[in-house]
Every structure is written in structure tokens, then in C-alpha cells.
Amino acid sequence: MPKHLYRHIPAGFALLAASTAYAQSPSFSLNGTAGLIDMPTAQMLPDGETAWTFSGSGTFYSGTLTFQMLPKLETSVHFTTLADWTAVDAPLFVQTLDLKYEIFAESDYLPSLAIGSRGFLSNGPLSSEYIVASKNVGYGLTVTGGLGWGRLGSYNPVASLGTRPPVDSAIAINHMFTGDVALFGGLEWDTPVKGLSLKAEYSSDAYLGEQVFGDFNRASPLNFGIDYEPIRGISLGGYYNYGSDFGLRLTLSGNPNRPIVPPDLGIGPVPVNPRLGDYDRSEDWANNPMLTEFLVGALAPVLEAEGIVIEEALITGSAIDLYISNNNMPQTTKAIGRIVRTLSLALPHSVEVFRITLVASGLATTTVEIRRSDLEAQVDRPNAGPDSWATTRFTDAPNHLPDGAWSRDIYPDFSWALTPVIPVNIGSNGAAAGIDVLLNATASYRLSRGFSINGSLSQKLVGNIGAGAVPSTNPTPVRSNFALYQTGGPTLDRLTADYEFKLTPDTYARVSAGYLERMFAGVSGEVLWMPTNQNWGIGAEVSAVQQRAYGDMFGFEDYQTVTALASLYWDTGYNGIEAQVDVGRYLAGDVGSTVTLTRRFENGWEVSGFVTMTDMPFADFGEGNFAKGVSVTIPLRWTMPLETRSNTSIALGTMGGDGGARLELGDRLYTTIRDYDVIDFNETWGAFWQ
């Protein structure tokens, strides 16, 4: 769901559950960022802090996802409906990206200093820039002062830096830090009452548009507020603004560095069984096929108890090759460590080389080769971590072992799941807020390791998305008719045949055919070149699709198109940040590119944001004139005391925008295999000995 505004129930509960264990959170403003009420501060949230804020007043209501991407960089995406900002009797829906960068942190004598932009890359009704300083002066009191431009420079300006262009919807940066400049500031007092703080500010926002088009009365530049955080992760705010308006805020927050539950140490790994110097080096036993079959048969249930499934195996007198699926352990390196310990106990002494190949969604990814003598020499020794990393070899794996290898006889295999889903439409194409409660059933029938048939069916239980929906007037309505698909009856979200395979050891491929997603059916193919020992890869995807009918589960509309994208993937190695650039032709025939930045944490947390720009005219593109959105993935292991690779997600993004729309497929190849390269293994190698 990279472009839909969705909330999954478990994801909301995951953030809500964060409230059970910790002390007071950072202070949030009415717009969901670290700040006072309407005005920003120079304060930064803890690294990795993620917050979902719902707020509203007499002039707006908004949903915001804020993420402290780096220790000095705060990012926020807002989906805001302005009640009184147009001459017509209709609300204005605005999407904005906010950035705040800390120039330097607070010290004993100097305040923290930050520079920021609201509505970055746009000159819309919320666009503004600022420079702000904050200082804790003792007794829980923090003082803030700053200079604002744009909206934050509209009340009682003290200077002017040129002429600021008029507000419009075009993508631009030439307006930044131009025009009138105004002062703003405020105080925040953390009271002796745990979790309770009081705020007061002097606002430099004149609310000009709201006063021109609506009946908003800005009687005073002063705002006052109360914030209360009863438990860590839940923050409430109430505000009296401008002498005439009231505002409310609810923020749910969490941090990947603060798990809700302590680590589950389990029963621990089995000991390594070192061989004596005069061990039997004879390999004659390997000439007995029944014995090698017996060894694999004995290993399989032992490893399966840890959630590790042997897919294929080949044993010789001196080496063992295992193709395994890790179904439970969040860190694959931990699974590898458990496997080689078990092998050291179970295998004849002549087996010196352990080769473990990780299989993901039927694809063999990386082979990890460990020598048994190295394992014996390093276990329970100082520097075991770096020493074992230095002696481990990583190579690209062929998709299968040679003919004659042992393979797991489990296919065909059937699995299914039933989960609740809540799609939320805060506002799209002028629509008011809407919400549905759906029951979603998914099923997979795997005929072989690489070939499967997958389906997804949803039934609306209650909701108002789609109520009164009418066909879009856009020239190419590939997404703007999304509400027409939100019918009361069951909807077929997916029914596909999928085949994933490898062209070469470092080149992956996928072919999918059928009802690819709720709005489109057809054929999609993808290729990814991603050697395991490098931090970048190149992929391409081509799909020929036809738009599905609005009210008919299996019918079609007339619209057909071919979409094609080339992609560059780069794991920067810096603070877990990955970058992806897609260039090509989107569903509406527009040509452009998408830039996605993702920060991944070792424990499975992931926060991602994207921006898409194409050559589609702004009038046809959809909300915001360029697509943008964020998503948060939270591992269930972070919230529950058990080993699991399952996760849940929250996403805020464009719903109903036609520009920059791409197919909403299941996991693409890079998403499937990216946990299995040398970069990721290096970051989590500490788990190898756990």
C-alpha cells in the first residue's frame, strides 16, 4: 500500500502498546512535530522516534506522521484539510512535507539552533520557513525564539527580504526565505506533575487566508496550551488560540530503540562440540546414501523446533549444503549461528565445511560458508564476533542444489490468514474524511518452491468510503476513481499466479499474472540484478494491464496501458538508510521518477518516505501536484515476548492521485531479498553467537 492512506488495526495497537512502560515523551505541537503550539522549537525528538498525530481546530483537521530520520533531522508528512481557505464552499485538502535540521545542539551556555521548512518543495497555503533557537533555563522552563517567513512571517513583520511569490500549487523553491520576516517565540514549563506541561507562545501566523475566505477571527497573537502524557507513547494536548479558537491533539508515539517487551533469550543455543586433535577423518560413511538421508532426516525436526526449515540438503564426506527458510527468528544471522552449532553436534567429524543458503519466498539468496575448525576455535573466546565475521565467506547462491540432493516433499502447500483492516481517507480530491472497517482473507497455494497461486478477498463490515462516489472527471482516472471500488459487497483484491526464479546466481526474476490488485489486472514481469557482496542493485519492471470494473468482481473497463520502470537500489551503510530511485512510465501514461528513502533498524523497524514527480500537468495530477507519503513497519517482536518475523504497518500517502501511480503488487524482488546481503549480515552479525 505505498500510495494509500491505510491503517492496520495491529499497527495502531502496536503504537498504543508503547504506552505501557516508559516515562514522559518529547513535547509535540498542534501540527504533530516537536514544538510549542503553532510555532516550532529547535528541539529534536530522540533518534528514530516515530509519532502519529491527529489534530484539529476551528480552521483545520489533520493527520501527521513524524519521524526523526537522523539525530539532527526531523521529517513530517501532513495530510491537512483547511476548512476555510477557498472562495467556494468546500474544504481544501493539502499534503505537505516538513523538514527541520538542527544546526547545533544546546550546550551549557548556548541554545540549540535549527532551520526548517514547512511545505518543502511547494509554495502552498501552509508554506513557511524559519530559523529558531531554544534553551532550557532551569526549573523545567524552556524558552524559544525565532524568525519566520511565509505564513510564519505574515503577522507584524519586522523586515523584508525581497518579494515572495504569491501562493500557488506549483513545485518550487524560489520562494524560500523570501518576503516578510516576523518574530515568534514562546515558553514551555514542565510542571512538577509528571507528564504535565504548560505552553504559551507569540504567533507570527496572521491566518490571512482563513480570515479572507472564512469567518475566522484572529483576535490575538497569543496562544496557550496544556500537554499531558499520562504514560509514555500517548500524548494529549488542548489549546486556546488567537483569543477565539480551540484546538485538540492526540499523538501516539514509539521508538525502535525502546522495545515494549524485554528480549526473549529463550533456551539459548546448544554448545559447540569441538573435535579432538586425533578425530576420525574417514569419509567412507558418506558412501552410504541411507546414512546421509538419515542425517538430514534427523536434523530437520531439530531445526524446525527453532522455526528453521530445511528446503534442500546435500552431504558429502567433507561438506554439507543446506538450503533453509528462517520462519521465526527476526535476525537471520542468529538462525545461522543456531544451525552451525547444531551441525557441530550432529555431523561426523570429517565434515569440515558448513554451507548455509538462505531461501526467501522460494528464492535462494546468499550462501554463508563457515569452516567447522574456525567455529571450534572462536566459540566462547574474546573477539569471537569480529573473528567469525572475518573467516566467514559469502557468495551468491544458485537457486537449487544439483540433481540428487535431498529436497523437502511438502508441495503443494496451502496457507491462509484472516485479518481486520481499516482504510482511512482523511481527504482526497476534496472528499471529507471517510473510514471503513474491512475483513480481509488471504490465501496462498504453493505448488513448488517458486510457483504459487495467491488470493486476497475483502468484505466491508461498516464504513462510508465510497458513499455517494461519482466517476472522476480527470482525463486518465487510474486512481481518482478509488472510491467507486469501495462497494458494500466482497471485493477481490488479488488473484494471481506468481513464479519467482533466478536467471543467474546474482539475478532474480518474477512473473505475475491475473488480478494483480483491486483496480488492475494483467501480466507483470520483474528482473533484479543484486550481487550479495555489493551495496547496490539494478532492477526493471514491465506490466501490461487493463483497468478492472468498478462494480463487477471479474469485469473490466476499457482503459489499457503498459507501465515500465527501471530502478536503482542503494544501501548507503549510513544509519541504516537505503535509497531507491525509480524512473519510467506510470499507470496514467505519465513519465517521471520516484525517490524513496528508507531507514531500517536492526530489530526490524522500518520508516520509509517517497516523493514522485512526473510530466503530468498539475491540474490533472491529483492532490498536491506531486505524490508523497510515508509508511512505518513495526515488527511484532517489538511488542510481544516471542520470536517472530511477522510485522504490521501504518501508511500515510496519496489516495486518489492519478499522477505517478504504480501497481500495488505484493512484495517486489528487492523487498524479498534485501535482508540477505553482506551489508545486512554485517549489521546484525552480533546475533550469530546468541
Residue 24's pLDDT band, with cuts at 50, 70 and 90, is: very low
pLDDT-derived band of residue 357, with 50, 70 and 90 as boundaries?
very high
d(C-alpha 71, C-alpha 86), whole Å: 38
Number of neighbours of residue 70 by Cβ within 10 angstroms: 17
Q: Which of 181-190, 622-631, 675-684 has the highest mean pLDDT?
A: 181-190
pLDDT of residue 647: 64
- Mean pLDDT along residues 619-625: 62
Q: What is the pLDDT of residue 546?
A: 97
Q: pLDDT value at position 240?
A: 96
Amino acid 653: pLDDT:
59
Q: How far apart are CA 625 and CA 127, in angstroms?
A: 15
Q: Is the pLDDT of residue 23 over 50?
A: no
* Across 93-115, average pLDDT: 92
Write b or e for each residue in 200-239: b if 16 or more Cβ atoms lie within 10 A of its Cβ, otherwise e.
ebbbbbbbebbeebbebebeebebbbebbbebbbbbebeb
CATH for 29-254 is 2.40.160.40
C-beta pairs of 464-471 under 8 Å, 24+ apart in sequence: 464/434, 464/435, 464/436, 465/423, 465/425, 465/434, 465/435, 465/436, 466/434, 466/436, 467/434
Task: Calculate the average pLDDT of the chain.
Answer: 85
In angstroms, the CA 94 to CA 80 distance is 5
Give the pLDDT of residue 467: 64
What confidence tens digit (pLDDT) does each residue in 470-498 have? Answer: 777 778 888 888 777 766 678 899 999 99
Pairing of strands 319-326, 179-190: unpaired
CA distance 611 to 628: 4
Q: Which residues contact 156 (CB under 8 A, 6 or more apart)?
A: 182, 183, 204, 221
Eight-state DSSP code of residue 510: E
| Cα–Cα distance, 110 to 34 (Å, whole number) | 19
CATH no. for 413-622+657-678: 2.40.160
Amino acid residing at 577: I
Q: What is the mean pLDDT of residues 22-34?
A: 75
E strand map for 380-450: 393-396, 406-407, 413-425, 434-446
Where in the chain do CATH 2.40.160.40 domains reside? 29-254
Res. 320: pLDDT tops 70: yes
Question: Predicted confidence band at 7 (pLDDT cuts at 50, 70, 90)?
Answer: very low
pLDDT, average across residues 186-213: 92
If one compares 293 and 502, the residue with the highest pLDDT of the two is 502
Closest CA to 260 of 606, 7, 8, 637: 637
pLDDT band with cut points at 50, 70 and 90 for residue 21: very low
Looking at residue 15, its pLDDT comes to: 40
Tens-place pLDDT, residues 268-290: 678 888 888 777 888 888 888 88
Evaluate if residue 562 carries a pLDDT over 80. yes
Query: Span 284-410: which CATH code?
Result: 3.30.300
Cα separation of 417 and 433, whole Å?
29
Per the CB < 8 A criterion, the answer to whether 16 and 234 are in contact is: yes
**CB-based burial, 265-303: b 16+ in 10 Å, e otherwise:** eeeebeebbebeeeeeeeeeebeeeeebeebbeebbebb
Instruction: Cite the residue boundaries of each domain of the chain with CATH code 3.30.300.
Output: 284-410
643-660, pLDDT tens digit by residue? Answer: 666 666 666 655 567 888
- Radius of gyration of the chain from Cα atoms? 28
- Return the bridge partners of 414, or none: 445
For the cut 70, the answer to whether the pLDDT of residue 315 exceeds it is yes
pLDDT surpasses 50 at 226: yes
State the SS3 of 661-689: CCCCCCCCHHHHHHHHCHHHHHHCHHHHH
pLDDT digits (tens, 9 = 90+) for 76-103: 988 888 877 765 566 777 888 899 999 9
User: Does pLDDT of 426 surpass 70?
Assistant: no
More confident residue, 97 or 35: 35
Secondary structure element (H or E) that encloses residue 138, with its range: strand 128-138
In the chain, the percentage of residues whose pLDDT exceeds 90 is 49
Check whether 12 has a pLDDT greater than 50. no
Q: How far apart are CA 653 and CA 482, in angstroms?
A: 14
Confidence category of residue 3, pLDDT binned at 50, 70, 90: very low
Number of Cβ within a 10 Å radius of residue 417: 10
Instruction: State the pTM of this model.
Output: 0.82
Q: What is the pLDDT of residue 423?
A: 66
Arithmetic mean of pLDDT, 561-575: 94
Inform me whether the pLDDT recorded for 626 exceeds 80.
no
Q: Is the pLDDT of residue 355 over 60?
A: yes
Mean of the pLDDT values across residues 590-614? Answer: 88
Whether the pLDDT of residue 254 is over 90: the answer is no
Average pLDDT estimate for 395-400: 95
CA dist 667 and 664 (Å) reads 9
Tell how far CA 307 is from the center of its chain: 25
Of 630, 628, 633, 668, the closest CA to residue 649 belongs to: 633
**Bridge pairing between strands 591-600 and 577-585:** antiparallel
Q: How confident is the model at residue 6 (pLDDT cuts 50, 70, 90)?
A: very low
Q: Is the pLDDT of residue 369 over 80?
A: yes
- What local confidence, expressed as pLDDT, does residue 431 receive? 45
Q: What are phi and psi of 514, to 5 degrees?
A: 130, -150
* pLDDT of amino acid 83: 78
Q: What is the pLDDT of residue 279?
A: 78
